[in-house]
Amino acid sequence: MRRFAGKTVVVTGSGRDKGLGQAILQRFADEGAHCVVSDLGQPAEHMDAGDIGTTAAMSAVADELRARGAKVAVVPCDVRSGESCDALAQAAVDAFGSLDIWVNNAGIGYIMKPLLETSASEWEAVIGVNLTGAFHGTKAAARTMIAAGRGGRIINIASQAAKSGFPHMAPYTASKHGMVGLTRSNAIELGAHGITVNAVCPNHVTTGLGAKQNDYFSKLLGFDSVEAYLDNMKRKNPMGRPGLGSDTAAACAWLASDDAFYVTGEALNVSGGEEMH
C-alpha cells in the first residue's frame, strides 16, 4: 500500500541506526511518504555522541530511506527549543510543500539511577527532551498544519512507562506520564482544526537505547545475564516476546491513516498484552 503518497512526515529523534525513529520512518517510506530525518546532530550535556543521532548518523539513515525509494530531507533539531522546532516544521514545508504527520519521538531513556542519586540536571535533561520537546514539537506542527488548512496527524511516542511506574527511572516515567496528559489536552484543542493527537505506548523495544536498559536492569534485578533477563521478559508477555520497532511503526501508520480519522486523544498500548490499562 502507498497510503501516504504525496504526504510529508517528520519524526524527531530519528537519526540513529536501528532506533525507534528510524523504524517509524521506514514504515512511512515504504508507504510512499516524503520523510524528514531529524535529530540533535551534536552532543550536549547528558547527550553523548553515542546517545543521539549525529550528523553522520542522520545522513546514513537518510541514505537507507532513499534506497527504499523515498524522498528524504535531513534537518537537525534541538527539540528543547521552540525556535528549533519551528525551523524543522518550516524546513519540511520548504522541502516537500506540506507537513502532514509529525511524530514526537525524541527521548532520553538511558539515564537510570535510584531517585536519591538522580541530579537536578539529569531530571531537567529528560523532562526537557521527552516532555518539553513534545510540547514544542506539537506547537510547531499544529501552527503549520492550521495555516495550511488541511488538518494533520500528531503522534507522541510515549511508553509502557506512561501507564506504570518503573524503579530507577523517575524522570523518564514522569515525562511519559506527562506526555499522555499533553496528548489528551492537545487533542481537545486541535480537533476543531482537523488535527488528531494520539500517543503510542510501546513496551520494551531492544533498540540501541533498549540494549542499555537490558544491561542495567538485568544486573539490578539479579539475573545472571542479559539473555536470562530477556528470557524472563518473553515468559511474562502474553505474546511471548518483547516489542519490535516495527510494532510501534505499524501503530503510527494506522493512527496517521484515513482509517483513524475519528481517533484522537488516545494512549494506545502496543505491548503484546503486557500493559492493558
Cα-flanking dihedrals φ and ψ of residue 202, to 5°?
-80, 155
Q: Which residue in the list 110, 172, 216, 229 is annotated as catalytic?
A: 172
C-alpha cell at 167: 524503579
14 near 23, Cβ under 8 Å? no
Q: Kindly report the three-state secondary structure assignment for every residue of the chain.
A: CCCCCCCEEEECCCCCCCCHHHHHHHHHHHCCCEEEECCCECCECCECHHHCCEHHHHHHHHHHHHHCCCCEEECCCCCCCHHHHHHHHHHHHHHHCCCCEEEECCCCCCCCCCHHHCCHHHHHHHHHHHHHHHHHHHHHHHHHHHHHCCCEEEEEECCHHHCCCCCCCHHHHHHHHHHHHHHHHHHHHHHHHCEEEEEEEECCECCHHHHHHHHHHHHHCCCCCHHHHHHHHHHHCCCCCCECHHHHHHHHHHHHCHHHCCCCCCEEEECCCCCCC
- Regarding beta strands 195-202 and 152-157, do their DSSP bridges make them parallel or antiparallel, or are they unpaired? parallel
Per the CB < 8 A criterion, the answer to whether 154 and 104 are in contact is yes
- Choose among 138, 82, 64: nearest CA to 74: 64
> Is residue 172 flagged as an active site residue?
yes
State the catalytic residues.
172
